[in-house]
Amino acid sequence: MTPMKKVLSIAIVAVLSMLLQTDSVQARPVKGFHTGPYLVFEAGAVQMNYDKNEADGIDVGRDFEPSIGFLFGWNLNDEFSAELQGRYATNANGARRIHAGSGNIYGKYTFIFDPLVDFNSLKILPFVKVGGSFRIASLPGASSAGSGNVTQFGAGPSPGAGITFLMFKYFYFGIDLQYDLLFFRDVRQTVAGMPGTTIYRGGFHPSFGGSAMLGVHY
């Protein structure tokens, strides 16, 4: 190799090294890149296999019902955030439609790993969270009771986990998984003149839910 070619090769290698280093420095997010509020729309499914009508001897609805909802959160710093979530599920169930609404409040921790955030336009952010949940459902009463729906209420702790993607600074999407550990009271009605007849049994009924998220992070 001639001296000129050697000098040119060294110069090219040096320039490429500088460009790669500069790109790496620019790609690494500055502290505070993940702070601030976010709002997302959620669509998925929620487990509701605890809705057997004891008086009629039938399972109401399906084990999993489609759900929609929203999630509002605020990152206090890059890792820690607080979240408020609301979801709604329904099933036509013939002419006796069922409704279920739930609310969750969480404290969330996001893992910031350099290999997952060292991109110019995309940040990959896995997370875990823990909090509380409540659920209110309107379910068909006993067919012989002569009245409409009855109300079921449950509450309990709720752990969760998932992964979010922050693209172009504001575009926020991902997968949200949670496990509501719900405790319900018995639901009773007067059936055939007998008050206090159990229609839906209470107790511990865990409920798994999963949703796709799409929204914005300010």
**Domain boundaries defined on the chain:** 1-30, 31-217
| CB 176, CB 213: distance < 8 Å | yes
* CATH number of this structure's domain 31-217: 2.40.160.20
Q: In one letter, which amino acid is 49?
A: N
Residue, of 147 and 198, whose pLDDT is higher: 198
Average pLDDT over residues 6-16: 49
The percent of residues in the chain predicted with pLDDT above 70, rounded, is: 83
Q: What is the value of pTM for the model shown?
A: 0.79
Higher pLDDT, 8 or 199: 199
Res 69 pLDDT > 90: yes
Average confidence (pLDDT) over 15-29 = 48
Nearest to 65 by CA among 97, 39, 95: 97
Q: In this model, does residue 54 exceed pLDDT 50? A: yes
> According to the model, what pLDDT value does residue 16 have?
43
Closest CA to 60 of 26, 20, 89, 102: 89
Q: If we measure between CA atoms, which residue out of 14, 30, 42, 29 comes closest to residue 160? A: 42
Q: What is the pLDDT of residue 61?
A: 79
**What is the predicted pLDDT for the residue at 132?**
97
Mean pLDDT across the chain: 85
144 has a pLDDT exceeding 80: no
Q: Which residue has the higher pLDDT, 177 or 50?
A: 177
E-strand ranges in the chain read: 36-47, 52-53, 58-59, 64-75, 80-91, 98-110, 122-140, 149-167, 171-184, 187-191, 194-200, 203-217
